Structure 1
Amino acid sequence: MENFINKLQNHIEHVKRVGEHCSTEETTKQALILPLLDILGFNPYDPTKVLAEFAADFPGVKATERVDYALYCNGQPVMFIEAKPYAANLTNHAPQLSRYFNSSLGVTIGAITNGKEWRFFTDLINANVMDEKPFLTVDFMKHKAEELVQLAEFKHDNFHVEKLRFFAEENQYIQQFKTVIKKSINEIDLDFVRYVAQQANIQRQLNTKFLETIQPFVKRAVEQAISDMVVKGLSSPTIITAHPIEPQPTKIEQPIIDHQPVDITHPDNEKIVTTKDEQDLYRIVSELFPEAELTARDTESYYSLLFQKKNNRWLFRYDVNRKRPTIQFIVPIDDQRRLELCRAGLEVQANGQVFLDKPEHIYRAVGILKDCLDYCSNDENFKRVSNM
């Protein structure tokens, strides 16, 4: 492990030294990405371990769609990597990587990187569908090598899919628990006070008035407990000094602002109501394709997403007025696309419409969405045929 950390430290210094000179994606690959793969035991010059411009053989993927790198163990692909230029701001949305991930049943790890930051994804929420958020983020500009020993889990000789999935699940839960614990310690709300009082077996009725009375005591106890843990090992005992409780100023309750979307009724037509689900769907697709010029259009019948505000260039039509919401894509759902959607866990009707029970299920159709955007971007598809 010491040798691995030393190599990682040298790589971090290398990234900081030459990163700004990597102005293109190809330079970033050669100077920053491949050296890290080599440290992990994936020799970039061995095509049995690292295959560049990987082209999948499953239906639904065009010949021009390739993932930047596929990492191999024992002759099987185990991880996909999508590379970005060093200066690119990473997002959690990579349609091409998601499409490969969702369609390759044997690959359960995906990564997006610009050389200085790596984001690792798996499918903890829905099987065979890449999670929206990474289970691990590594930033060489912020972290020290000693803090990145988790990367050892991705070494070629140590690469075990099930072990990585357990690591991903464990890491995800720990991060969520840490967030809740930090929030509880910082705020010391009444729920936390009640829990502490119950665990301490306080023989009093734990009503709101009593909990508010002991709230400052619990806050001080938390501070002293943290202090005790920090100075653990010192020989001198902790001396607890009583302090008078200063009267707390009356707090003026501020109204809670809910930033969640709400249904929006069209000012000129009360029958057109843009629902929360429709707004969420627009937000998700806009994040998936941040550079595309997309606008939403709502009607009494359906909600559509337009390319360049042109009514005939709609990526999809979303209908929430049925018992089960459906979505219709502008591209035909042929056998290959139908298979792709079914493998992602979506139900396709005979007419090509797809049941979309939740807006976030659109992540499962990210490859089809990309096809729709490509179709709408091509002027040849919208030329009028003149009658001779």
Structure 2
Amino acid sequence: MERFIQRVSSHIEHVNKVGAHCISEETTKQALILPMLDILGFSPYDPTKVQAEYGSDFPGVKATERVDYALFSNGTPVLFIEAKAYAQDLTNHCPQLSRYYNATPEVAVAAITNGREWRFFTDLVNRNIMDKDPFLTVDFEAPQEDAAEQLFRFHHDKLEAGALRAMAEENIYLSAFREAITSSLRECDVDFVRYVATRASIQRQLNARFLESIQPLVVQAVAQSVSSMVATSLSRPQKTEEAPPVVVLSDEDAPIIDPDNEKIITTPEEQKLYQICQEILPGEDLSMRDTETYFSVVSGGKSNRWLFRFWGDKRRPAIQFIEPMTESHNIEAQRAGLEIGKNGRIILNKPEDLYRLAGILRDALMYCQNDENFRRSSRRVESDDE
């Protein structure tokens, strides 16, 4: 472990020294990313551990859609890495990274890096679907004290999917709790002041005027308490009380009823499908259309250019894309672990499964955007509309 920490420390110094000279993505890979993979036990010279431009095992993918690096353990891909140039912002990571991740269940982690910053993703929200937010970010320009210890979890000899997911969940919760606590202490808003007054058993009516009057005192008390905790090295209270779970209801949980036809009800699942569709195809002219029989998402506001139709049957909800399913589409759906029913429909047990069909959805959009597909008299007969 000491040797590993030393190597990481030396690499951080190297990145900060030569990073500005890594103008291109290829230079960043060679000078900054591959050395880090070697430190993690994934020798770039060993094809059983590292494969560049990985994509040969993914059916239906375009030649340009490849993962920069796939890291292997015991012959199985365990971590995908998308590489960017040193100066490039990582905020909008490449869509194909999530597509590869979603279609490869054995991969536990995906990462995107520009050599100086590493962002790691897993599937805490929905299993086998890459989360939108990273569970760990390591920035070599301002490294945390435990950066090496965090990275050690990704070492070839230590990499274990269950342990990584547990660490990811822990990091997500810690980050959220820390942000909430910091915000509460800094702002000392009325809710926090009321909480403190209640815990302090103040024998007064906690109306707005009183809470406003004691707010400066709470701010002062917070500052003194934090200083005292730091001085005495207290990290946690002697006794904790388990808070009851909080259930948050939002308008997203409610169905939308058509004011002109009460039989047309757009369910929360259908609304979620539309939201996911927008996330996969950002910036496209999409709209949702609902009928008594099925729900659809259309392109350009034209009802005949539907990307997909969804039947929300409680037992076997199914989706069908406008473009006839090709062999590569079938393979992509099967690889995603989804069942293909009759007439090319795919069983979609939950809206989030649409993430795993991102490639087919993009092909459906291209089909809708090609006017030739709607000029031919021999175009597809929609015999299964109803």
Give the TM-score of the pair, scaled to structure 2: 0.71
Deviation, structure 1 residue 344: 4.7
Deviation, structure 1 residue 311: 7.0
Provide the C-alpha distance between the structure 2 equivalents of 1:370 and 1:85, rounded to a whole number of angstroms.
27
Deviation, structure 1 residue 79: 0.5
Which blocks of at least 5 consecutive residues in structure 1 are unaligned? 234-257
What do residues 24-76 of structure 1 show as CA deviations (whole Å, max 9, x unaligned)? x4344333322321232211111111111223546x54474532211112332
Alpha-carbon distance change, 193 to 316 in structure 1, aligned in 2, over 3 angstroms = same
3-state SS of 1:155 partner: coil
What do residues 69-116 of structure 1 show as CA deviations (whole Å, max 9, x unaligned)? 111123322101123344544345543222322232221111123334
Deviation, structure 1 residue 120: 1.1
Aligned to 2:219: 219
Indicate conservation of the 8 Å contact 1:92/1:132, yes or no. Answer: no
Provide the C-alpha distance between the structure 2 equivalents of 1:190 and 1:324, rounded to a whole number of angstroms.
48
* Letter paired with 2:184: S
Provide the C-alpha distance between the structure 1 equivalents of 2:318 and 2:179, rounded to a whole number of angstroms.
36
Provide the C-alpha distance between the structure 1 equivalents of 2:206 and 2:319, rounded to a whole number of angstroms.
50
Alpha-carbon distance change, 26 to 226 in structure 1, aligned in 2, over 3 angstroms = same
Alpha-carbon distance change, 116 to 329 in structure 1, aligned in 2, over 3 angstroms = farther
Deviates more, 1:127-136 or 1:167-176: 127-136
What do residues 320-351 of structure 1 show as CA deviations (whole Å, max 9, x unaligned)? 89999864322334676456446657676534
Aligned to 2:297: 304
3-state SS of 2:342 partner: coil
Q: Does 2:358 match 1:366?
A: yes
Q: Does 2:2 match 1:9?
A: no
Alpha-carbon distance change, 300 to 167 in structure 1, aligned in 2, over 3 angstroms = closer
Provide the C-alpha distance between the structure 2 equivalents of 1:379 and 1:70, rounded to a whole number of angstroms.
38
Q: Does 2:333 match 1:330?
A: no
Indicate conservation of the 8 Å contact 1:8/1:145, yes or no. Answer: no
* Letter paired with 1:218: V
3-state SS of 2:228 partner: helix
Indicate conservation of the 8 Å contact 2:308/2:319, yes or no. Answer: yes
Alpha-carbon distance change, 380 to 41 in structure 1, aligned in 2, over 3 angstroms = farther
Indicate conservation of the 8 Å contact 1:346/1:354, yes or no. Answer: yes
Deviation, structure 1 residue 179: 1.8
Indicate conservation of the 8 Å contact 1:98/1:367, yes or no. Answer: no
What do residues 355-387 of structure 1 show as CA deviations (whole Å, max 9, x unaligned)? 66776553232232233345556788677489x
- Map 1:78-227 to 2 at 5 A: 78-91=78-91, 94-140=94-140, 142-144=141-143, 146=145, 148-149=147-148, 150-200=150-200, 202=201, 204=203, 207-208=206-207, 211=211, 214-227=214-227
Aligned to 1:245: none
Alpha-carbon distance change, 355 to 128 in structure 1, aligned in 2, over 3 angstroms = same
Aligned to 1:18: 21
Aligned to 2:52: 52
Indicate conservation of the 8 Å contact 2:15/2:115, yes or no. Answer: no
Deviates more, 1:34-43 or 1:9-18: 9-18
Alpha-carbon distance change, 323 to 10 in structure 1, aligned in 2, over 3 angstroms = same
- Map 1:227-238 to 2 at 5 A: 227-231=227-231
Alpha-carbon distance change, 374 to 157 in structure 1, aligned in 2, over 3 angstroms = farther
Aligned to 1:316: 308
Provide the C-alpha distance between the structure 2 equivalents of 1:113 and 1:285, rounded to a whole number of angstroms.
26
* Letter paired with 1:223: A
Alpha-carbon distance change, 197 to 4 in structure 1, aligned in 2, over 3 angstroms = farther
3-state SS of 1:36 partner: helix
Aligned to 2:38: 38
Q: Does 2:284 match 1:294?
A: yes
Alpha-carbon distance change, 348 to 177 in structure 1, aligned in 2, over 3 angstroms = farther
Same amino acid, percent of matched pairs:
50
Provide the C-alpha distance between the structure 2 equivalents of 1:89 and 1:289, rounded to a whole number of angstroms.
21
Provide the C-alpha distance between the structure 2 equivalents of 1:153 and 1:312, rounded to a whole number of angstroms.
51
Alpha-carbon distance change, 217 to 347 in structure 1, aligned in 2, over 3 angstroms = farther
Alpha-carbon distance change, 366 to 139 in structure 1, aligned in 2, over 3 angstroms = farther
Alpha-carbon distance change, 86 to 371 in structure 1, aligned in 2, over 3 angstroms = farther
* Letter paired with 2:10: K
Provide the C-alpha distance between the structure 2 equivalents of 1:342 and 1:208, rounded to a whole number of angstroms.
60
* Letter paired with 2:130: M
